[in-house]
Amino acid sequence: MDQIDIIIKLLIAHFLGDFFFQPKRWAGKRRRHQFRSVHLYLHAVIHGLLVYLLLGDWTGFLVPLIITLSHFLLDLGKVYIKERPALFLVDQGLHIIVISLVWITFYGDSSAIPGLLLFLNGPLVLLVILAYMIILSPAAVLIRILTERFQPDRPSRPAGFIEARVGEEVIGLKDAGRFIGILERVMIVSFVLIQQFALIGFLIAAKSVLRYSDIKTNYDRKRVEYILIGTLLSFSIAIITGIVTLWMIKNR
């Protein structure tokens, strides 16, 4: 069996076990009953069985056993940690690291690791990483500084659902605008780097449609203009960052 086929099958087994063959109630019961939960053990065994079936090595039990035990230990540790969005990313990252180590140890070519590290440390990869770093937090800080003087005065209120209203003012979700800005800048830089500029126009059109309803239902002109300034700044920073990065890549 080809080495790439094996790592793909190991990853398929992981995603099948974690997202398709795991009912929602299992996660809640694991967190509630912790190490006493039968679903904790059943979930780990399912992962091992999936690895065993997909690899098709009917006499090879070591790899499925390692995957079963590692998944059990990671999930056991997770139930004792307070649930938060970052925990999901850390958990999935650790599972994938274990799978990668198993693949390298039993099937992979260890000589490929130095080449991979050399590639990741190459100037082009570092340049792309720098571009994405710029459009995340630094861009958000710059936009906030530039738009601070335009921010409309409003009474301090806790954020609620988008449908909630105070007088004529629509109250949005907490930090939603910041995350929307990050996502749109990531998408724009990605579109520029793959030279799919038409997709940027599609993104602008899609956001304009969403903002149209906001303008129709909210008569606070200052707020609308403030949002428009922030949006145009966000798009401009992302497009300029993407174009400069692409130019540097092409001229190296």
Quick one: pLDDT at residue 242? 94
Give the chain's largest Cα–Cα span: 71
Residue 23 confidence (pLDDT) above 60: yes
Q: How far is CA 113 from CA 83, 105, 118, 180, 182, in A?
A: 34, 12, 9, 36, 32
Report whether pLDDT(69) > 50: yes
Q: What is the pLDDT of residues 96-138, one digit of tens each?
A: 999 999 998 898 766 666 666 666 667 888 899 999 999 988 8
**Taking all residues of the chain, what is their mean pLDDT, rounded to a whole number?**
83
How far are the Cα atoms of 2, 70, 141, 204 from residue 207, in angstroms, in the given order? Answer: 44, 43, 22, 5
pTM of the model: 0.68
Q: How far, in Å, are 37, 178, 193 from residue 246 at the CA level? A: 52, 25, 6
| pLDDT of the residue at 114 | 66
- How many other C-beta atoms lie within 10 A of the C-beta of residue 252? 8
Which of 81-90, 103-112, 181-190, 193-202 shows the lowest mean pLDDT across its residues? 103-112
Q: What is the pLDDT of residues 144-186, one digit of tens each?
A: 898 888 777 654 444 444 444 444 444 566 677 788 888 999 9
